[in-house]
Chain A
Amino acid sequence: MSLRIVVTVKYVPDATGDRHFADDLTVDRDDVDGLLSELDEYAVEQALQISENSDDDVEITVLTVGPEDAKDALRKALSMGADKAIHVEDDDLHGTDAIGTSLVLAKAIERAGYDLVISGMASTDGTMGVVPALLAERLGVPQVTLLSEVSVEDGTVKGRRDGDAASEQLEASLPAVVSVTDQSGEARYPSFKGIMAAKKKPVQSWDLEDLEIEADEVGLDGSYTVVDSAAERPARTAGTIVKDEGEGGKQLAEFLAGQKFI
């Protein structure tokens, strides 16, 4: 038996950089260094662990939809140990929203062929956390999302979802879409050997035509949402800072009382 895993990974501006918007109110990707979204490293890690724990022949493909530089994210995932990569790149994709992104990803996943899709819990720039659910809806397969523990055996995926009110054990038959949280286990660092090997691994490039998607279904024009304005949050007015010289707790209580919290 074989198991084909597609891991969706996003290339995002570094969260510790000074992120802002471009003139067309899309995320500015030029001024801040990009990288593989940290939350997608957990997805790559779980794919690798499923592969390592399996007797089957497992093939891991990493898939990204993004600009030219997004290749860096694929390279990183390949150096962690994924087998091959697909890069969907097209000028008409600029400004695509979650609904559009899920269309492109779903078409690419179908074209690649899959038994299991693994996504991150959310992208670190958009932080919507909806693409995995949208993929399940589009692909018409079970959604097994926000797992902090995941395993695959005999064509069944199982996992634990820690929700607000309860922790749930989930189970579904493959094919399925899974997303994993940052509680699922630390992602490995690429080894030197992994980095060298990644250079020889195949990276395919597809555009919208390859996926039979019309330009007006995606991009800013095809977007289902419009951002009308983006304003920098006014800096918080500088607060009072005191050094504790034995009365710090009391001084703080005085402040809280003044603000009517006590």
Chain B
Amino acid sequence: MAEVLVYVDHVDGAVRKPTLELLTLARRIGEPVAVALGAGAADTAAALAEHGAVKVLTHDASEYADYLVVPKVDALQAAYEAVSPAAVLVPSSAEGKEIAARLALRIGSGIITDAVDLEAGDEGPVATQSVFAAAFTTKSRIAKGTPVITVKPNSAAVEAAPAAGSVEALAVTFSEKATGTKVTARTPRESTGRPELTEAAIVVSGGRGVNGAENFAIIEALADSLGAAVGASRAAVDAGWYPHTNQVGQTGKSVSPQLYIASGISGAIQHRAGMQTSKTIVAINKDAEAPIFDLVDYGVVGDLFDVVPQLTEEIKTRKG
């Protein structure tokens, strides 16, 4: 059976959920061979094997942390040449897309980004994408070369499928360009203890209607009662009420949770672009004409300062 290369997104050996989802999709096309780079690369093997990786190629070098993107492209290319896979799958993060694009160019292949589903097809893998702010669904293929496809979080279920997952050292020679862009300082993001926005099953977002940084406590309390991640509209982020990393929409994160709760958000096209594919959508807005109500499964026309705390209380009571 053909092998499929899967690029592993991990933090010091802890594999992030979107990579496990990629393994599910990769198994539809062939046998997943994982590529894990940087500090803790070898520690990823157990989780990857558990989810279907037949092999885990690993390599660690200081270049991965000290220089931007290119060292990782060099390594993924080395893996590509070692394996000759039927396809290369990469998680659709900002960096993942850049790595995938440069690899595609080097190996003379096409690239598809932000797939939300993947199936085997007669002429290679068929990717489903959600375009024009999720107003359309397209199906595309790569016409030339080995398909390189980046896949969004929450595109498939994580499935246990134990496989060998034998660790092999990947031989990497860095290109002359690898050290072109130096990372001179790095400030890790502080953990909030809440789920990762793009990976969360439930997202609770606040917009301009929240009216102040201090009021985001109301949104956070609701999120915590549901074990949810917190999101924000760009208006709330631009006002300085919530960090940009939590922005949902075209220029923020794109989320596709089981449940999305929007409070004080009007539902502009650029916001919809990042949340329209959520399974169940709920909104609280005092303007009955707000476009967000066109999307909802359940909407409450009312003041969020009344509705949200009451909802949080009720959830706590029901949960006991």
A positions within 8 Å CB-CB of B: 15-16, 19-21, 25, 39, 97-99, 102, 121-122, 124-125, 127-130, 132-134, 136-138, 140-146, 148, 158, 161-173, 176, 181-183, 223-233, 236, 239-244, 246-253, 255-257, 259, 261-262
Contact = CB atoms under 8 A, between A and B. Distances in A.
B8 interface: no
Contact of B138 (A227, A251, A253): A227
Interface stretch (B19-27, B48-56, B154-162, B279-287): B279-287
Contact of B181 (A102, A172, A231, A244): A172
Interface string B186-198: 1111000000000
Interface stretch (B78-86, B209-217, B297-305): B297-305
Contacts of A231: 136-138
B245 interface: yes
B164 interface: no
Contacts of A129: 94, 97-98, 113
Contacts of A250: 310-311, 314
B142 interface: yes
A242 B318 contact: no
Interface in B184-241: 184-189, 202, 226
B143 A225 contact: yes
Contacts of A228: 126, 138-141
A103 to B, nearest CB: 9
A241 B301 contact: yes
Contacts of B318: 253, 257, 262
B101 interface: yes
Nearest to A142: B180
Contacts of A130: 97-98, 100-101, 111, 113
Contacts of B109: 224
A28 to B, nearest CB: 10
B170 interface: no
Interface in B267-298: 269-270, 273, 276, 280-282, 284, 288, 293-298
A35 B152 CA distance: 28
Given A130-B111, A140-B177, A249 B308 contact: yes
Given A130-B97, A176-B180, A236-B294, 8 more contacts: A129-B113, A163-B94, A169-B184, A183-B244, A223-B143, A243-B288, A251-B300, A261-B202
Contact-size category for B: 35 or more
Nearest to A16: B269
A253 B226 CA distance: 11
A93 B47 CA distance: 45
Given A165-B188, A170-B183, A236-B281, A229 B138 contact: yes
A251 to B, nearest CB: 7
B135 interface: yes
A5 to B, nearest CB: 18
Given A144-B68, A164-B189, A256-B315, A99 B111 contact: yes
